[in-house]
Amino acid sequence: MAQRTLIRPTGFIDSPFGHDGKVARLAGGLNWFAQVELIRGDGSRELRAVEGIEDRFDERMAAQWAALTAPRAPLQLGERRIPLDQPQVMGIVNVTPDSFSDGGQFADSAAAADAGADMAGAGAAIIDVGGESTRPGAATVWEGDEIARAVPVVRQLAAGGAAVSIDTRKADVMTAALEAGARLVNDVSAMTFDPRAAEAVAVSGVPVILMHHQGAPGSMQDDPRYGDVLIEVYEWLEERIAAAQAAGIARDHILIDPGFGFGKTVAHNLALMNGLALFHSLGCPLVVGASRKRTIGALSNEAPPGQRLGGSIAFALKAAEQGAQIVRVHDVPDTVQALKIWRGLRDQALTPRV
């Protein structure tokens, strides 16, 4: 990142009224910020007011600023149109025997599909179906088994009118799930695991989530290391966006996820969450999946996954405060309720005073 300066929005305020020229809107959403942190290539950081900041920009910084402040287009998933000017909930349905939180929860595909339908009914805009656990220490699952687990659930949910995402790293699973009605691919490897994945997504024309990771699931938590985790994850995602575009995937079909818990320590995860707003300058909708993750247990007396609701909601609200467009969660009704309260607070703050 030599000689480059990154722009991280901060100094968030409740309302832009009365602050003309002193605040900027984040990604066309419900968040306004009055300050930015300029992160330089040598690691130094400087806090600056938004007022007059554009006069200091070089060409690359101007491009970042345009990406930071541009509205995000709605997500078109088949016939479903999902607005991204407010945070949306993605519900997790893991049809696996060994996922860290809900592995083995569903006796069969019908039970899993019913759970997904309940999530949609509770307010989840998207249901993310996965047939392979990528928890720390997980082994790779054969494509045939993964298809057998996930595709019947995808088919039933899509037939019921839900917007469905397929959580997979494998091209064959992507193709089978898309044929069954999935309209979004969520690849935790950012299309680095399967060399055919990028082509499968490009040919299908569906959007894709590119998630950062360090190492393979089996070993990613052994000893993850970064110089500056925020900058390194940013640059890695920047490279993956470019690779996706080179493969024929339109930029407006790319979403990004910083990969909370995938090859990161507790400190790394917290640094990413604190600096989350930086990633908006990549110009893609931001997905955050911190639900029930190990960091919550580490900060709460080793609470097991089923007892991490409070921490999951805290992270979801922190993500919403920094403009995340999608939060991926296990506990849909509780998260939807929390975000409704957050939205109510924002609506009140954004109601002009008379």
Query: Per-residue pLDDT tens for 311-352?
Result: 999 999 999 999 999 999 999 999 999 999 999 999 999 998
Domain match, 217 and 106 both: yes
Domain match, 80 and 65 both: no
- Straight-line distance from the first to the last Cα atom of the chain, in angstroms, rounded to the nearest whole number: 48
- Per-residue model confidence (pLDDT) at position 187: 97
Domain match, 40 and 90 both: no
Domain match, 272 and 247 both: yes
Among 35, 50, 69, residue at a domain's last position? 69
Cβ atoms < 10 Å from Cβ of 90: 27
What pTM does this model have?
0.94
**Which region among 79-93, 128-142, 253-267, 296-310 has the lowest average model confidence (pLDDT)?**
128-142
pLDDT band at 1 (very low <50, low <70, confident <90, very high): very low
Domain match, 278 and 331 both: yes
What integer best gives the mean pLDDT of the chain? 93
Does a structural domain hold residue 134?
yes
Q: Active-site residue 328, yes or no?
A: yes
Residue pair 35/45 in contact (Cβ under 8 Å)? The answer is no
Cβ atoms < 10 Å from Cβ of 19: 14
Domain match, 329 and 288 both: yes
Q: What is the pLDDT of residues 283-304, one digit of tens each?
A: 999 999 999 999 999 999 999 9
d(CA 346, CA 26): 14
Does a structural domain hold residue 193?
yes
Residue pair 103/97 in contact (Cβ under 8 Å)? The answer is yes
Residue of 293, 294, 308, 346 marked catalytic: 293
Domain match, 256 and 199 both: yes
Q: Active-site residue 56, yes or no?
A: no
Residue of 169, 308, 328, 346 marked catalytic: 328
Domain match, 60 and 178 both: no
**Which region among 24-38, 218-232, 246-260 has the lowest average model confidence (pLDDT)?**
218-232
Domain match, 274 and 319 both: yes
d(CA 247, CA 253): 12
Q: What is the pLDDT of residues 108-131, one digit of tens each?
A: 889 899 999 999 999 999 999 999
Among 22, 50, 69, residue at a domain's last position? 69
Q: What is the CATH number of the domain that holds 113?
A: 3.20.20.20
Containing domain of residue 290, as a range? 75-349
Domain match, 58 and 117 both: no
d(CA 208, CA 223): 29
Q: Distances from the Cα of 97 to the Cαs of 112, 134, 213, 220, 294, in angstroms?
A: 12, 12, 23, 20, 19
Total domain count, the chain:
2
* DSSP reduced 3-state for 187: strand
Does a structural domain hold residue 354?
no
Does a structural domain hold residue 296?
yes
Q: Helix (H) and strand (E) counts for the chain?
A: 10, 14
Q: Is pLDDT of 102 > 70?
A: no
pLDDT band at 98 (very low <50, low <70, confident <90, very high): low
pLDDT band at 56 (very low <50, low <70, confident <90, very high): confident
Domain match, 223 and 289 both: yes
Domain match, 302 and 251 both: yes
Average pLDDT over residues 63-71: 97
